[in-house]
A and B are shown apart, each in its own frame.
Chain A
Amino acid sequence: MSAPIELPKWADRVLVPAIATIASFLIAGLVVTAIGENPLDATRILIEGSLGSSEGLGFTLYYATDFIFTGLAVAVAFHAGLFNIGVEGQATLAGIGATLACLRFDDQPTVIVLPIAIGAAVVSGALYAFIPGYLQARRGSHVVITTIMFNFLAAILLVYLLVNVIGNPKSMAPETRSFGANAHLAFIHDLARALGFNMPTTPLNLSFPLALLAAFGTWLTVYRSRLGNAIRTVGASPPAAVYAGISPSRITMLAMALSGALAAGLALNEVLGVQQRLLPEFTSGYGFVGIAVALMGRAHPVGIVLAALLFGMLYQGGAELSFDHPTITRDMVTVIGGVLILFAGAFDGLFRRGVAGLMPRRAAI
């Protein structure tokens, strides 16, 4: 292999992702210009729409919640040298697990039903990621291909269940009945109003603090625990891990399960928090945005939270923007996500080499 491009830590962690981000936005600006709109005007509406009001901010943080969870899920697998493209499928299964728990127990008090529902979501997500992990570790099939297949299988299963098994017979649409009020993750605006503050109604719910907790927990696990040390060793060099007495196949399965457990957060936010029933396609491609978030945040929880906030701004600001300028649809965010994955992931060497060229030469190592 070629020698890795050596960069000071700050350049590696901050400068390179920042340049990739700016480059992506320039490309997005070109696309906006090409379809005959003013990119500066678009940026202004985007920022005002996402941060300019407490309502906009609430929506931004609600979207960011999804991206923190999916970004962390992708990142944990990255640390073990695995590429989990299956966050969508794992979140789908988590949503199914949470729903089954809610449909069965939502006549029980909150302290009983909510932990069961959250537990069911996390276990379902973790199991659905564990299987591809097992298949790679023990049967030699690549996690990328199996998680792609598992995404499709999860989507097919969701439709089957909604149409044939758990769908609401009173509704024309394929969806379950709404859960009882005891099974909800409370909205932040309801909590604030209960405490006497007035807040506009937004989808922001208790999943957001849970996401921040998950980010902190992921940091502790990855950087400050034995398991995290083992995960990062396997990711850096499986032979070194074996030499250190770590079993790469065991860590592969554990890291995938952990990744799937984090992916379940997407279901907590969307199913238990916002919709309070199960809908088809509730994952909305957020699992793929998680890949962009993880790459941009350099797989570090702090970077992921920041990148997730940026994507939250893009989604909320993008909604405002498409309202004002119907030619710029929300799909613009997908374009930016794609360019970012390309720049922060596949073309990574391009920017690193560029930055390394600009750095003052350090003594040869």
Chain B
Amino acid sequence: MNALAETSTLIAVVLASTLRLSVPLIAACLAGLWSERSGIVDIGLEGKMLIGAFASAAAAFASHSAWVGLVAGIVASVAFALLHGFASISQRGNQIVSGVAINLLAAGLTAVIGNAWYGEGGRTPPLEGPARFPDLVLPGATALKGVPILGPLYADVLSGHPVPVYLALLAVPLTSFVIGRTRFGLRLRAVGNDPGAVDTAGISVSSLRYRAVMISGVLCGIGGTYLSVSQAAGFLPLMTAGKGFIALTALIFAHWRAWPALGACLLFGLLDAISIRLQGAVLPGGISVPVQAIQALPYLATIILLAGFVGRAIPPRASGVPYVKER
């Protein structure tokens, strides 16, 4: 009985950490989903999250308000998204090139400005009190804790996280609904598959794509804010550490759909949580799994999927192709 209770506590701890580690992935993955469903390839997720993380930490530090931080993070990330939009939609530039530029710009600017403002090697000063989001206890969490299985799942795993976690989670049904069930979503999907048809119907391709790119910026801003204002107590240089790219792999895994994206991100978050717990641990039977093997899994799995050895990943048809209106 005691062993059982211990195991279930361990499972709850791992699942809760899975959720926390998945949040930036979920936000960035949905951001990529919006952008790529509209036909704009987005490898700049990493950079947008990074600039969002820096801006939110700086603003939260200056204003002592996590909410001001969230707004600043979103504004900065949307500004970068618009830069990508201007390059790929208005200038019809190469979207990969623009994405690479955005990642480099964010890495460089956050380090330069952070160092100039705070002089601590690019970190922001530690955030405390109202400058961070408090953990929310969901309604009824304590009352329902006694219910077997579902109770602890609700009280210990789902409840007790800061606001950005729930923002990212809410974005999943919202994205699924808007893209799948609304007129705007239908048009957005159309513009990612056949912009010519959308244009013929008298709907502006660029305006749709700009809106999609901006939504992508908002979501990356939420992800970045979560990293610097909630998960960590301040900004660290390059703190996104490849999460934008893992989100990109999750997006491919999920075939550019919202609910599967949540699943893929949770899976990659679980891998991350396991690899953190496994650090230096020896499994029963004396087997020690190198952490690197688990870290490599998302990338290896994506390559195998992309190569069509298992299943097939087909992106929106017009993604990556600039639209040129015929005159």
Contacts and interface: CB of A to CB of B under 8 A. Distances in A.
A, B from the same assembly: yes
Given A156-B295, A336-B108, A345-B94, 17 more contacts: A2-B92, A35-B117, A135-B306, A144-B43, A149-B303, A156-B292, A160-B290, A327-B116, A331-B108, A335-B108, A338-B105, A341-B100, A346-B91, A346-B95, A346-B101, A347-B91, A350-B91
Contacts of B252: 145
Nearest to B309: A139
A153 B306 contact: no
Interface in A14-73: 31, 35-36
A192 B193 CA distance: 62
Contacts of B105: 334-335, 338-339, 342
Contacts of B17: none
A348 B91 CA distance: 8
A1 B324 CA distance: 6
B104 A337 contact: yes
Interface in A148-173: 148-150, 152-153, 156-157, 159-160, 164
Contact of B248 (A35, A148, A160, A348): A148
A145 B248 contact: yes
A83 B95 CA distance: 11
Interface of A: 1-2, 31, 35-36, 83, 85, 135, 139-142, 144-146, 148-150, 152-153, 156-157, 159-160, 164, 288, 291-292, 295, 326-329, 331-339, 341-342, 345-350
Nearest to B95: A346
Contact of B112 (A35, A149, A159): A35
A334 B104 contact: yes
A141 B299 contact: no
A63 B111 CA distance: 21
When A and B form their complex, which 3 residue pairs have the shortest distance between CB atoms, in order from nearest?
A334-B108, A338-B105, A338-B104
B263 interface: no
B276 interface: no
B174 interface: no
Contacts of A157: 292, 296
**Residue from the set B92, B307, B309 with the largest chain A CB neighbour count within 10 Å:** B307
Contacts of A331: 107-108, 111-112, 115, 122
B100 A35 contact: no
Interface in B95-135: 95-98, 100-109, 111-113, 115-117, 119, 122
Contact of A146 (B94, B107, B116, B306): B306
A140 B292 CA distance: 28
A345 B109 contact: no
Contact of A153 (B108, B109, B119, B300): B300
A159 B102 CA distance: 27
A291 B91 CA distance: 19
A220 B116 CA distance: 46
A295 B94 CA distance: 12
**Residue from the set A153, A156, A333 with the largest chain B CB neighbour count within 10 Å:** A156
Contact of B245 (A152, A160, A332, A348): A152
A327 B118 CA distance: 10
Contacts of B43: 85, 144, 148
A145 B102 CA distance: 17
Contacts of A336: 108
B308 interface: yes
Contacts of A142: 306
A347 to B, nearest CB: 5
A153 B296 contact: yes
Contacts of B115: 326-327, 329, 331
B29 to A, nearest CB: 14
A346 B292 contact: no
22 contacts: A141-B303, A145-B252, A149-B245, A149-B303, A153-B296, A153-B299, A157-B296, A292-B104, A331-B122, A332-B108, A332-B112, A334-B105, A334-B108, A335-B108, A338-B107, A341-B97, A341-B100, A342-B87, A346-B94, A346-B97, A346-B98, A349-B93
**Residue from the set B88, B105, B245 with the largest chain A CB neighbour count within 10 Å:** B105
A349 B89 CA distance: 12
B196 to A, nearest CB: 13
Contacts of B324: 1-2
A329 B111 contact: yes
A345 B108 contact: no
A139 B308 contact: yes
B249 interface: yes
A171 B126 CA distance: 33
Contact of A35 (B98, B113, B302, B307): B113
Contacts of A288: 100, 103-104
A335 B109 contact: yes
B45 to A, nearest CB: 11
B140 interface: no
Contacts of B103: 288, 338
Nearest to B242: A152
A327 B43 CA distance: 30
Contact of A338 (B102, B119, B245, B309): B102
B43 to A, nearest CB: 7
Contacts of B92: 2, 349
